[in-house]
């Protein structure tokens, strides 16, 4: 007779090793996706549960998605705020520590014992500096990638600010990016105007003319193929079952159904699988953080 | 295929043969004799960017003399040399051995434009087959990089000389990625 006591054991585990389990189980956390469909309770819990480790993991996901997606993804405002603050604090922390070493070195440099102690305790400092550089690299690469996309789609992005668009521009871009976008566009427009556009007849002077033989506003390549990894729903949110998640009848595996409109075809994205898909097919799942780009 | 795409602009300037459906005064410079009229049924080579628009936009029905013939456009596009049955048959028989570059250096771009213009399903099928077959060969050539040979300036094989501009982009990027990968594996 087998009694399944896994849930009781899990309860005990949670009480005794609370820190570890929170680190492991929150690996796929979408703490800071703005406008995600999480209700109030979820949001509260997400905010209380932030930790540097999972923030970094979320940042990595955002970075990868941004690098591979054809469109500009919404800016993770809260995540970036937290991360930038931490970078600042860490820099100050490292400087404070290294001042401590200075004192140590002047005081007890002569004794061999003190020197080795100073050497030993430099390892954490090295680790901190290397780790800080790593984080800064990811941040820089992320922002540069976004700037490249803003350059490319500046005409397209202007449409967001002009009309009543689906996403307001200040949610899509950060404050600095918004400023970059506006000023860069103004400079570019000035250059074009001064060099050629003023020599053209007035009806040809618009640079966002979509009625001509070729569209001038370049939209993102919505149907570009991307590699996706299906990571499935957040393991912590088992209690509210995902309505989009279906269970296959033949294999018993969980999958997301997606429809490829051009071919009128249904496809199944099994959890844990890697697929090559058109971006517009999986776009919503990416924004909900159910699949990631790789 | 965007507005500022250089390859797209170059592809669009390829000339295609057209036949005029109307007598139009003053347009003689398209034929080379400036100041003259252009006659009906005159055959002219026009760049695709011009021909594509003129083939869609219709003239007014009065000048043609036919009241019900409003749909008739200014010009009629004639199948150009690069999509002649001869070429299509050559593709069907062996895409890999075909010298695409000698037909046109922007073959794919033009063929895609042509197929969109005429909704040509057969052409799309042929192109699909061709691209798949040729991309396998491109992939083979791109991945078998010998770093020593490359440094000495290895002579490109004959297949490399038959690539069109679009295939060259594919070749270059896949070659670069293979090369970088190998370099990364070899040297830390």
Residues 6+ apart with CB under 8 A from A150: A72, A157, A173, A177, A180, A181, A184
- Among A76-85, A102-111, A277-286, B123-132, which is the least confidently predicted range? A102-111
For the segment A236-264, what is each residue's pLDDT rounded down to a tens digit?
Answer: 555 445 566 666 555 666 777 777 777 77
Q: Is the pLDDT of residue A30 over 80?
A: no
User: In the numeric block, which tokens belong to residue B174?
Assistant: 């896949």
Q: In chain A, what residues touch B3 (CB-CB under 8 Å)?
A: 214-218
Q: In chain A, what residues touch B53 (CB-CB under 8 Å)?
A: 213
Alpha-carbon Rg of chain B, whole angstroms? 22
- pLDDT class for A138, splitting at 50, 70, 90? very high
For the segment A259-271, what is each residue's pLDDT rounded down to a tens digit?
Answer: 777 777 777 788 8
Q: What percent of chain A has pLDDT over 70?
A: 70
In order, the DSSP letters of A190-214 are HHHHHHTGGGS-GGG--SS--SSSS
Closest CA to B39 of B50, B27, B51: B27
Q: A192 to chain B nearest CA, in Å?
A: 13
- pLDDT class for A41, splitting at 50, 70, 90? very low
The arithmetic mean of pLDDT across residues B120-142, rounded, is 87
**What does the pLDDT read at residue A21?**
40
CA-CA distance, A58 to A250, in Å (whole number)? Answer: 34
Higher-confidence residue: A157 or A15? A157
- pLDDT class for A65, splitting at 50, 70, 90? very high
Asked if A216's CB is within 8 angstroms of B53's CB, the reply is no
- pLDDT class for A105, splitting at 50, 70, 90? low
Q: A216 to chain B nearest CA, in Å?
A: 5
Q: In chain B, what residues touch A217 (CB-CB under 8 Å)?
A: 3
Closest CA to A258 of A222, A291, A294: A291
CB pairs under 8 A between A and B: 10
Region for residue B43 given its phi and psi (left: phi exceeds 0; alpha: psi -120 to 50; beta: otherwise): beta
User: In the numeric block, which tokens belong to residue A188?
Assistant: 């570019």
Q: Is the pLDDT of residue A148 over 50?
A: yes
- pLDDT class for A99, splitting at 50, 70, 90? confident
Q: A185 to chain B nearest CA, in Å?
A: 16
Whether the complex's predicted ipTM surpasses the cut of 0.85: no
């Amino acid at each position: 007779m087998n009694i399944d006591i896994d849930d009781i054991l899990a309860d005990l585990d949670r009480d005794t090793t609370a820190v570890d389990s929170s680190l492991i189980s929150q690996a796929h956390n979408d703490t800071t996706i703005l406008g995600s469909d999480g209700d109030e309770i979820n949001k509260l819990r997400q905010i209380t549960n932030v930790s540097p480790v999972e923030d970094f993991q979320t940042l990595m996901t955002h970075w990868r998605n941004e690098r591979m997606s054809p469109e500009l993804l919404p800016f993770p405002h809260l995540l970036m705020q937290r991360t930038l603050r931490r970078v600042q604090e860490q820099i100050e922390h490292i400087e404070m520590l290294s001042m401590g070493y200075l004192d140590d070195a002047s005081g007890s440099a002569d004794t061999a014992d003190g020197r080795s102690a100073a050497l030993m305790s430099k390892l954490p400092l090295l680790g901190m500096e290397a780790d800080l550089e790593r984080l800064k690299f990811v941040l820089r690469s992320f922002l540069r990638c976004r700037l490249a996309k803003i350059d490319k789609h500046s005409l397209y992005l202007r449409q967001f600010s002009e009309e009543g668009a689906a996403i307001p521009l200040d949610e899509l871009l950060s404050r600095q990016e918004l400023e970059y976008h506006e000023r860069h566009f103004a400079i570019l427009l000035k250059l074009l105007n001064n060099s050629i556009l003023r020599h053209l007849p007035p009806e040809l002077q618009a640079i966002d003319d979509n009625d001509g033989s070729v569209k001038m506003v370049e939209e993102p390549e919505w149907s570009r193929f991307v590699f996706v990894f299906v990571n499935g729903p957040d393991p912590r949110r088992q209690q509210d079952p995902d309505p989009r998640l279906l269970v296959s009848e033949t294999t018993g595996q969980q999958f997301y159904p997606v429809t490829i409109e051009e071919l009128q075809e249904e496809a199944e994205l099994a959890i844990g699988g890697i697929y090559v898909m058109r971006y517009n097919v999986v776009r919503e799942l990416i924004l909900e953080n159910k699949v990631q780009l790789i | 295929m965007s507005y500022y795409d250089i390859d797209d602009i170059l592809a669009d300037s390829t000339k295609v043969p057209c036949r005029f459906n109307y007598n139009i005064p003053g347009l003689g410079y398209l034929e080379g004799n400036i100041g003259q009229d252009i006659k009906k049924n005159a055959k002219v080579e026009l760049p695709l960017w011009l021909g594509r628009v003129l083939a869609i936009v219709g003239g007014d029905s009065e000048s043609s003399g036919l009241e019900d013939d409003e749909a008739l456009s200014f010009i009629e596009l004639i199948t150009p040399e690069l999509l002649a049955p001869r070429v299509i048959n050559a593709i069907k028989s062996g895409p890999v051995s075909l010298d695409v570059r000698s037909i046109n250096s922007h073959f794919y771009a033009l063929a895609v434009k042509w197929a969109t213009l005429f909704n040509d399903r057969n052409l799309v099928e042929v192109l699909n087959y061709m691209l798949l077959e040729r991309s396998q060969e491109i992939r083979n050539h791109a991945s078998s990089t010998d770093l020593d040979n490359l440094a000495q300036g290895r002579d490109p094989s004959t297949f490399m000389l038959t690539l069109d501009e679009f295939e060259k982009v594919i070749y270059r990027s896949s070659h670069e990625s293979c090369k970088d990968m190998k370099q990364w594996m070899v040297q830390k």
